[in-house]
Amino acid sequence: RRPPAVICYICGREYGTKSINIHEPQCLKKWHQENDMLPRHLRRPDPKKPQVNPLQAKGFYDLDSLNEAAWISAQNQLVPCDICGRTFLPDRLIVHQKSCKLK
């Protein structure tokens, strides 16, 4: 059995329940640096952390619903290619469009 993991709402990667609180501020800082370097038309609004209510009075979170909300948030940050329709992070879209051809 795998240890419980939490999906980052910014990058979509899995992290342990203890390290996610360390990762998220660093990931958000990196996201801002990369977003500021993009052309204006590809810049995105700040990612919003999904709000999930505690499952029980003890304060435990339902990891499945938290992970699903975080995954959806990460996927919503992807930008579709104007030519083929595939989705990419904005900085990768620029690289992709150089070689993308209509099929």
Q: Model's pTM, two decimal places? A: 0.69
Sorting pLDDT into bands at 50, 70 and 90, what band is 33? very high
Task: Name the band, by pLDDT with cuts 50, 70 and 90, for residue 69.
Answer: confident
Indicate the residue type of 74.
A
Q: How far apart are CA 60 and CA 46, in angstroms?
A: 27
CA distance 58 to 25: 26
User: For residue 71, is pLDDT > 80?
Assistant: yes
For residue range 50-65, list pLDDT tens digits in order.
876 655 556 666 777 7
Return the beta strands (E) in 1-103 as ranges.
5-7, 14-16, 79-80, 87-88
